[in-house]
A and B are shown apart, each in its own frame.
Chain A
């Protein structure tokens, strides 16, 4: 399972970076989205995977008994997803405005002397 998630995360990073190197704004944004999801998956996987053991104290006990899933990476990922989602939405609006003002979606055209 770790191997599968690690591969998935790696593929997301690779695809994200590849797309960010393309010239179109839309591809750049999708690339950033993939990159941030690859990161989320990485946090989740690096935190250690424990299946079928939620971190809930069983009835009658007063502490968790290992093995149990670490809840911290999940909380981190949740925060990162929310932040990433907000930023991506903002970036989409900004890209729309760039397209409306500059009249092109070619990244190489940005900042060119006119």
Chain B
């Protein structure tokens, strides 16, 4: 059971050590990397436990379940914790290629660790108010990481980002207040148990609407995603990689959790709403990606659009669709983090990520181009890479459930993704150099990180079968909420 608290404690300890340790860049980077590797190891250990023994529960301070704060890890939480570990190692590894010295002395490394702690906490908590607190921990760290700048675009982006997130948090908190008022509990398992009585008060749809709006802002769903492409391309590319990889996924995770735990038998209107928002997200995100002249903004719009895949599968709510969604989230965390780190290399090479300043990279940096090919084509969904497997799973599930037009949209959006990534590859890497010169080397640490993440993507593609079986088990576990309730409220009648 102890393993459950480690993915939260390790980043916290690492952050404290980093704050106390001397401010030498080399030392700080090594501590951060060591902490991140330990985080990954603890998440893997937790995953093995959950895989072998089912849902793991830890009552903090030994207060029994509905009264104290409970940490719960089911397969979904554990797999996401492992993904957090992978991203953590990648981000810590990227720091060896150099961080802006001013940022490094202002606490870049501890802030990254605090953010990781917030994300792990959000994935592992079994209590809604605790979830709010983890969200704030994660957001405050991301605010500071975003605002450690003085140039105009970055300060403006940070302000918008902070404002929209504070509004979303207020909405979430409002929902929590009303929820406690009607249900008298904020423990997720207990709420799932007493939800029918909440439904009889007629407030359940109000609560659902508040939750959907709050987490649609955080996950970046249409029509509430505009803050994301306006801000994610302004911080340094590695920070962008951290945000793109993890932050919106926490919003998706919470939507997965509350829809399976509380809203499984909600009126169909709620699912129709989520479906409509998801479809609009996919289409608008990918259409917008076509017109963008900047690599990182293309990535931001792709990120937005692909969130729609997962929430569209969620609104179908069959085990196969949910499994596809979980698979896609896992694949996407690795790939989008990798692509933002690719953009960090582009920034080093050409000082910009605008498409017209790129080109000729395949000729001039063959190793880098070969490594970058994996995430680009994986995101595009070319077989046999992981994006193809995820999309295929979602497509099969939507067709199987009779939602043919959703499947059609998924196909269309897949084509648009292919187009935007194909353009990024053709214009950025393949096209012959037109006088552009590299002003620096790609940086060996970044190449290692890109190579490592690409290996993870290849591994996900090669072992797609076993992994999909695993996500299918996770999806079935999510849908059998009685197991979750039983595991948490053991001993409570």
A residues with a Cβ closer than 8 A to B are: 20, 25, 28, 32, 35-36, 39, 42-48, 70, 72-73, 76, 79-80, 83, 86-87, 90-91, 94-95, 97-98, 101-102, 110-111
Contact = CB atoms under 8 A, between A and B. Distances in A.
Interface string B141-155: 001100100111001
* Top 9 A-B pairs, shortest CB-CB distance: A46-B181, A43-B177, A42-B177, A110-B156, A101-B155, A39-B173, A46-B177, A83-B136, A35-B170
A87 B156 contact: no
Interface stretch (B161-169, B269-277, B279-287): B161-169
Contacts of B230: 111
Contact of A110 (B132, B144, B160, B177): B160
B129 interface: yes
A16 to B, nearest CB: 8
B173 A80 contact: yes
A87 B140 contact: yes
B430 interface: no
B178 interface: yes
Contacts of B156: 98, 102, 110-111
B174 interface: yes
22 contacts: A28-B163, A32-B163, A35-B167, A36-B166, A39-B170, A46-B177, A47-B181, A76-B176, A76-B177, A79-B129, A80-B132, A87-B143, A90-B140, A90-B162, A91-B162, A91-B163, A95-B159, A98-B156, A101-B155, A102-B156, A110-B156, A110-B160
Contacts of B176: 43, 76
A87 B170 contact: no
Contacts of B162: 87, 90-91, 94
Contacts, number: 89
- Sorting the interface of chain B by its residue count into under 10, 10 to 19, 20 to 34 or 35 or more gives 20 to 34
Given A36-B170, A43-B173, A79-B129, 9 more contacts: A32-B170, A46-B178, A47-B181, A70-B184, A87-B136, A87-B143, A91-B166, A95-B159, A111-B230
B166 A72 contact: no
Interface centre among A72, A83, A86, A102 (most CB of B within 10 A): A83
Nearest to A43: B177
B166 A87 contact: yes
Contacts of B151: 101
A95 B181 CA distance: 35
A81 B112 CA distance: 25
A79 B156 CA distance: 29
A83 B140 CA distance: 10
B158 interface: yes
B218 to A, nearest CB: 15
B163 A79 contact: no
A70 B180 CA distance: 11
Interface centre among A20, A28, A43 (most CB of B within 10 A): A43
A112 B147 CA distance: 19
Contact of A98 (B129, B159, B167, B170): B159
Contacts of B160: 110-111
A110 B157 CA distance: 9
A47 B173 contact: no
A4 B472 CA distance: 51
B133 interface: yes
A20 B158 contact: no
B167 A32 contact: yes
Contacts of A111: 156-157, 160, 230
B185 to A, nearest CB: 9
Nearest to B144: A90
Contact of A42 (B155, B178, B182): B178
B133 A83 contact: yes
Contacts of A80: 132, 173
A97 B147 contact: yes
Given A32-B166, A97-B147, A73 B155 contact: no
A47 B180 contact: yes
Interface in B435-483: none
A79 B133 contact: yes
B129 A76 contact: yes
Nearest to A79: B133
A48 B140 contact: no
Contact of A90 (B143, B150, B182): B143
Nearest to A102: B152
Contacts of A73: 177, 180
Contact of A86 (B140, B150, B158, B167): B140
A90 B166 CA distance: 11
Contacts of A25: 159
A43 B144 CA distance: 28
B211 to A, nearest CB: 15
B152 A39 contact: no
A72 to B, nearest CB: 7
B179 to A, nearest CB: 8
A76 B180 CA distance: 10
Given A28-B163, A79-B129, A102-B152, A47 B158 contact: no
B39 to A, nearest CB: 24
Nearest to A36: B170
